[in-house]
């Protein structure tokens, strides 16, 4: 009996010891504890905010700083102490007592056991963040634990000021984020909305000394402006954009003022008009400055004001603005909504012309974010576009265009070519140095790296929508000939393929502009019968490979420098979206997706949501064959840069597709993020203008509402397997030299697919041909004219009993699609046109038109309820729902 008692005691001691060694992050109540601690910290941070001055108040009244409540601090402390005691000292103490050792040995055991229990103390950050496929679903895994793939993307900027019809004084204080020794400048940006704006009495004063850094400028004479100020982008394509002049009697109290007039334009401008002070101001980060000015306009409009340190790039110095520091505020709102992944644009990481590396700007940026949320996991976006000094020293490595009057036409400047081996080597070296620095200093807070380059950092050919064609640089020619030598075994093979007896592997040039223009008039290039167009198709293949090779070289660098422990993130694969560019899909360099998917050095591929169908009532379509990304074990992440109600007009993509009210914005965000949840996408909400697009607590309620859905799919990984699939062939897309032939066949077919009342998926055709998925009931095959009879037969065999809908140059009509849906026996969730996504028990609906829908779930014995509110919709799987245009509802089809 005594032996049994001792064995029982030892067994109990062993169990307690084992439990005590389990990390807190693995326990089911860890999230609750973290939430308590974060809530207490957030309450403290809110109380300790410095007083903010409100724009428009001539004499702003600072809010009184409230003393912290002892109860809050003790609650926070007790939460942390309770965790420590519960999981460390108590099991340790009980274990030692139950072992019934003499005190001297108990003491020694305590000393030996104590270090083992230290692992239970909560530690911020992560050792490893990767994408792992779990039950067929790619998920972000932090230190072995799957987590929500929801993020916020923001940059340092200022919230827009509302300029109104009556004069108003705008004033606030700020502390510069960085020093600017004689290189500071003050900018006013007015957007593209036509109208007149008057500004008077501009001044910036250093409060500690009373010294005037700017002005005061009362603009009583023209020299007040011309001696110290300039204006940028007064015209575009020789058409006036704006004018600026000193006008008497229009200032405060009848004085003179600076008058800015923005002219109406027939097309969307690539940038807006702005005023700038000469780059000769000095700011110090240990000083406080007050900025003030008076402003009015003939109609309400947004005006953005920022102080910069001039350089490459310009660095914003105001971390706070007239309303609040929008980056800090949005990070805080994201944290409250359980979103701790933060992505942001990193300041320039390239060495300067003298070979020096200055990390001060980078460190300041990262420290600012971590100060707001110490628990954040960061994914910095790093620009790989070469700086000016590198381009000046390496002119043969730059892009060269033909067919334009100057290299800078349309606001375009030269860029390093991705075909340049020298550029690629410099980019890899720069990225490696950046990763080493960030890992050494902030490693536990870094989740991954997002290198960006070329057009808008999205790795498609710079200037794709502009006039002229690129790929005519010296570096392009060298790489082109090297690629040809890997494609054709000898000159004879090249000559036969091109139908040109004079060309050789050592003399071949990139196709002439005249040949491109001839090819652009032909609906479909057939290099087998018209050999003169073989160089065009070959060049398309070459362009895709150069871009993909550059991306993969950077991906390999991330793997190496992080020992394979951090995320590798890239924009790429816009197979549907870039089918519409004028020069044709191949010019974009985004059609080597399979090469990128086959690489082990990429975790996440991302893109913005489509700009073509994101308006209220639209489907919020995807640019990428996202389901093929998942089949390859990668995560697709959608950048949601929805223009929210907090933005008035603009010149950015999708500016006319947002919502005018908070309620309308929430409907769009529920549509977008709900779709991401059901299709197993990651997403970040992007403050595109770095001016507070998501700086509204009401918007973040959407993210909180969808947490239960995210948690369901984390615990029950469910591959997205819709009954309709669209399959794009990358090789076929490269046989078109103009986007007008592919926009209907490929770019625009997502709209009718979204309205069909059923879910659809987006794939690469080779996934179907090689049997990597079960064919959906309806297979939609665009670019049908590209396939030979033998290829079509291979597609039919791969599709099996599925119905195939071939899409020709006329595109896809909704009526035609609905007939195919019925023929294939595809389940329609709604009897009328509606944007639908469904997976697991969830059905997401977004109204494409105002009316009453008959909604039918797939579970015939199930019930329908509102997944957000819990409200019962129907006791059966069918219900009639009034769904207005632009309204979103998430249903749950319960068993």
Render pLDDT for 397-425 as a digit per residue (tens, 0 to 9). Answer: 999 999 886 555 444 568 999 999 999 99
User: 9 vs 273, which has greater pLDDT?
Assistant: 273
Range name among 172-176, 674-678, 745-749 with the lowest pLDDT average: 172-176
The sign of the dihedral angle between the CA atoms of 785, 790, 794, 799 is: positive
Residue 602, pLDDT > 50, answer: yes
Phi and psi at residue 375, to the nearest 5°? -90, 0
Q: Crossing angle, helix 326-336 and helix 360-372, to 10 degrees?
A: 40
Residue 138, pLDDT > 90, answer: yes
pLDDT value of position 407: 52
Q: Crossing angle, helix 326-336 and helix 30-47, to 10 degrees?
A: 150
CA-based radius of gyration for the chain: 30
- For residues 559 and 576, give the distance between their C-alpha atoms in angstroms, rounded to a whole number: 29
Question: Residue 382 — left, alpha, or beta (φ > 0 → left; ψ -120 to 50 → alpha)?
Answer: beta
What 8-state DSSP symbol labels residue 135? T
pLDDT value of position 44: 46
Phi and psi at residue 315, to the nearest 5°? -110, 125
- For residues 816 and 821, give the distance between their C-alpha atoms in angstroms, rounded to a whole number: 9
pLDDT value of position 654: 73
What 8-state DSSP symbol labels residue 259? E
pLDDT value of position 301: 86
Confidence band for 360, pLDDT divided at 50, 70 and 90: confident
DSSP string, 881-894: EE--TT-EEEEEEE
- For residues 777 and 824, give the distance between their C-alpha atoms in angstroms, rounded to a whole number: 6
Q: What is the mean pLDDT of residues 696-715?
A: 96
- For residues 830 and 826, give the distance between their C-alpha atoms in angstroms, rounded to a whole number: 12
pLDDT value of position 122: 38
pLDDT value of position 1: 60
pLDDT value of position 17: 53
CB atoms within 10 A of CB 203: 16
Portion of the chain with pLDDT greater than 70, in percent = 82
Average model confidence (pLDDT) across the chain? 86
- For residues 678 and 846, give the distance between their C-alpha atoms in angstroms, rounded to a whole number: 14
Residue 100, pLDDT > 70, answer: no
Confidence band for 192, pLDDT divided at 50, 70 and 90: confident
Render pLDDT for 476-532 as a digit per residue (tens, 0 to 9). Answer: 999 999 999 999 999 999 999 999 999 999 999 999 999 999 999 999 999 888 999
Residue 18, pLDDT > 80, answer: no
Distances (CA, A) of 62 to 47, 50, 52, 207, 291: 14, 9, 6, 16, 16
pLDDT value of position 10: 57
What secondary structure, in 3-state letters, does 608-636 show? EECCCCCCCCCCCCECCCHHHHHHCCCEE
DSSP string, 173-218: EE-BSS-EEEEEEEEEE--S--EEEEEEEEEEEETTT--EEEEEE-
pLDDT value of position 323: 41
Distances (CA, A) of 847 to 172, 603, 615, 642, 662: 43, 34, 11, 18, 18
- For residues 316 and 757, give the distance between their C-alpha atoms in angstroms, rounded to a whole number: 47
In this prediction the pTM is 0.80
Residues forming a β-bridge with 544 = none
- For residues 841 and 850, give the distance between their C-alpha atoms in angstroms, rounded to a whole number: 25
Residue 361, pLDDT > 90, answer: no
Residue 773, pLDDT > 80, answer: yes
Please answer whether residues 562 and 129 qualify as being in contact, where contact means their C-beta atoms are separated by less than 8 angstroms: no
- For residues 276 and 307, give the distance between their C-alpha atoms in angstroms, rounded to a whole number: 9
Render pLDDT for 816-847 as a digit per residue (tens, 0 to 9). Answer: 999 999 999 999 999 999 999 999 999 999 99
User: 366 vs 654, which has greater pLDDT?
Assistant: 366
10 Å CB burial of residue 854 (0-12, 13-18, 19+) is: middle
Range name among 193-197, 257-261, 594-598, 688-692 with the lowest pLDDT average: 688-692
Angle, alpha carbons 786-485-541 (nearest 5°): 30
Residue 65, pLDDT > 70, answer: no
10 Å CB burial of residue 130 (0-12, 13-18, 19+) is: buried
Q: What is the mean pLDDT of residues 166-172?
A: 92
CB atoms within 10 A of CB 295: 27
Residue 185, pLDDT > 80, answer: yes
**Residue/partner pairs of 226-235 with CB below 8 Å, 24 or more apart:** 228/277, 228/278, 229/275, 229/276, 229/277, 229/278, 230/275, 230/276, 230/278, 231/273, 231/274, 231/275, 231/276, 232/273, 232/274, 232/275, 232/276, 233/269, 233/271, 233/272, 233/273, 233/274, 234/273
Residues forming a β-bridge with 852 = 882
User: 352 vs 240, which has greater pLDDT?
Assistant: 352
Distances (CA, A) of 69 to 50, 73, 75, 86: 17, 7, 10, 26
pLDDT value of position 749: 94
Range name among 80-84, 140-144, 754-758 with the lowest pLDDT average: 80-84
- For residues 286 and 490, give the distance between their C-alpha atoms in angstroms, rounded to a whole number: 67
pLDDT value of position 265: 72
Which residues are within 8 A (CB) of 583 and not within 5 positions of it... i.e. 6 or more apart?
464, 469, 516, 520, 737, 738, 739
Render pLDDT for 560-588 as a digit per residue (tens, 0 to 9). Answer: 999 999 999 999 999 999 999 999 999 99
Residues forming a β-bridge with 342 = 152, 378
User: 210 vs 108, which has greater pLDDT?
Assistant: 210
Confidence band for 273, pLDDT divided at 50, 70 and 90: confident
pLDDT value of position 102: 55
Instruction: Of 530, 531, 636, 516, give the one whose Cα is nearest residue 586.
Output: 516
- For residues 657 and 668, give the distance between their C-alpha atoms in angstroms, rounded to a whole number: 10
Residue 118, pLDDT > 50, answer: no
Which residues are within 8 A (CB) of 874 and not within 5 positions of it... i.e. 6 or more apart?
863, 864
What 8-state DSSP symbol labels residue 254? G
What 8-state DSSP symbol labels residue 872? E
Q: What is the mean pLDDT of residues 609-614?
A: 92
Portion of the chain with pLDDT greater than 90, in percent = 67
pLDDT value of position 324: 47
């Amino acid at each position: 009996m005594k032996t049994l008692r001792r064995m029982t005691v030892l067994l109990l001691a062993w169990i307690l010891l084992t439990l005590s060694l389990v990390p807190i992050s693995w326990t089911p109540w860890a999230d609750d504890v973290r939430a308590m601690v974060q809530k207490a910290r957030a309450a403290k941070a809110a109380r300790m905010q410095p007083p903010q001055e409100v724009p428009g108040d001539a004499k702003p009244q600072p809010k009184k700083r409230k003393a912290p409540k002892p109860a809050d601090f003790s609650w926070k402390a007790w939460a942390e102490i309770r965790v420590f005691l519960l999981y460390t000292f108590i099991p340790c103490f009980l274990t030692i007592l139950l072992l019934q050792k003499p005190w001297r040995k108990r003491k020694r055991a305590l000393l030996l056991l104590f270090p083992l229990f230290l692992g239970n103390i909560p530690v911020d950050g992560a050792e490893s963040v990767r994408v792992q496929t779990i039950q067929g679903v790619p998920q972000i895994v932090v230190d072995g634990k799957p987590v929500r793939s929801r993020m916020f993307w923001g940059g340092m900027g200022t919230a827009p000021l509302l300029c109104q019809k009556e004069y108003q004084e705008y004033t606030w204080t700020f502390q510069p984020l960085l020093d600017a020794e004689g290189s500071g400048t003050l900018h006013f940006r007015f957007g593209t909305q036509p109208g007149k704006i008057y500004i008077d009495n501009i001044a910036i004063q250093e409060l500690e000394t009373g010294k005037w850094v700017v002005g005061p400028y009362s603009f009583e004479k023209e020299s007040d402006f011309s001696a110290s100020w300039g204006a940028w982008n007064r015209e575009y394509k020789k058409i006036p954009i704006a004018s600026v002049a000193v006008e008497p009697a229009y200032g405060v109290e009848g004085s003179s003022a600076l008058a800015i007039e923005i002219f109406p334009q027939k097309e969307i401008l690539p940038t807006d008009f702005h005023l700038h002070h000469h780059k000769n101001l000095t700011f110090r980060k240990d000083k406080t400055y007050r900025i003030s000015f008076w402003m009015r306009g003939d109609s309400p409009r947004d005006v953005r004001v920022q102080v910069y340190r001039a350089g490459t790039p310009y660095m914003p110095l105001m971390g706070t603005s007239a309303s609040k520091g929008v980056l800090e505020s949005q990070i805080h709102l994201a944290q409250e909504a359980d979103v701790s992944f933060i992505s942001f644009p990193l300041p320039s990481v390239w060495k300067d012309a003298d070979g020096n590396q200055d990390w001060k700007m980078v460190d300041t940026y990262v420290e600012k974010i971590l100060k707001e949320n110490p628990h954040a996991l960061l994914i910095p976006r790093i620009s790989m576009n070469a700086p000016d000094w590198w381009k000046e020293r390496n002119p043969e490595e730059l892009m060269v265009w033909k067919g334009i009057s100057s290299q800078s036409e349309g606001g375009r400047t030269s860029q390093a070519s991705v075909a340049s081996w020298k550029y690629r080597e410099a980019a890899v070296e720069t990225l490696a140095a950046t990763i080493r620095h960030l890992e050494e200093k902030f490693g536990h807070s870094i989740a991954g790296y997002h290198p960006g380059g070329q057009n808008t950092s999205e790795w498609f050919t710079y200037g794709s929508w502009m006039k002229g064609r690129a790929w005519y640089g010296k570096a392009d020619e060298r790489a082109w000939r090297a690629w040809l030598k890997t494609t054709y075994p000898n000159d004879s093979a090249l000559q036969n393929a091109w139908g040109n007896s004079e060309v050789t592997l050592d003399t071949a040039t990139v196709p002439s502009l005249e040949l491109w223009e001839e090819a652009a008039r032909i609906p479909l290039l057939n290099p087998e019968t018209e050999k003169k167009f073989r160089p065009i198709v070959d060049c398309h293949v070459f362009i895709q490979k150069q871009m993909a090779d550059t991306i993969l070289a950077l991906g390999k660098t991330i793997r190496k420098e992080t020992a394979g422990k951090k995320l590798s993130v890239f924009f790429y694969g816009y197979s549907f979206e870039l089918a519409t560019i004028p020069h044709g899909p191949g010019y974009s360099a985004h059609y080597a997706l399979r090469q990128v998917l086959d690489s082990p050095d990429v975790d996440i591929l991302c893109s913005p949501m489509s700009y073509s169908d994101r308006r209220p009532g639209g489907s919020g379509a995807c640019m990428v064959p996202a389901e093929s990304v998942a089949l390859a074990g990668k995560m697709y992440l959608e950048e949601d840069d929805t223009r929210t109600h907090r933005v008035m007009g603009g010149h950015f993509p999708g500016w006319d597709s947002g919502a005018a009210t908070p309620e309308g914005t929430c409907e769009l965000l529920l549509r977008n993020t709900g779709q991401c949840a059901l299709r197993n996408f990651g997403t970040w909400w992007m403050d595109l203008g770095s001016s507070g697009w998501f700086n509204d607590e009401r918007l973040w309620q959407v993210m909180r509402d969808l947490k239960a859905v995210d948690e369901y799919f984390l615990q029950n990984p469910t591959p997205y397997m819709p009954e309709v699939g669209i399959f794009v062939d990358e090789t076929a897309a490269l046989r078109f030299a103009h986007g007008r032939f592919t926009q209907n066949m490929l770019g625009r077919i997502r709209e009718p697919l979204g309205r069909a009342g059923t879910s659809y998926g987006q794939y690469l055709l080779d996934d179907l041909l090689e049997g990597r998925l079960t064919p959906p009931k309806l297979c939609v095959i665009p670019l049908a004219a590209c396939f030979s009879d033998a290829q079509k037969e291979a597609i039919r065999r791969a599709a099996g009993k599925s119905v195939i809908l071939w899409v020709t140059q006329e595109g896809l009509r909704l009526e035609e699609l609905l007939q195919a849906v019925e023929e294939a026996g595809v389940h329609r969730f709604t009897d009328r046109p509606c944007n639908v996504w469904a997976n697991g028990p969830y059905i997401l609906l977004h109204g494409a038109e105002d009316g009453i829908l008959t909604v039918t779930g797939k579970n015939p014995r199930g019930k329908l309820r509102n997944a957000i509110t819990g409200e019962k919709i129907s006791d059966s799987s069918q219900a009639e729902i009034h769904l207005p245009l632009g309204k979103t509802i998430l249903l749950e089809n319960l068993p």
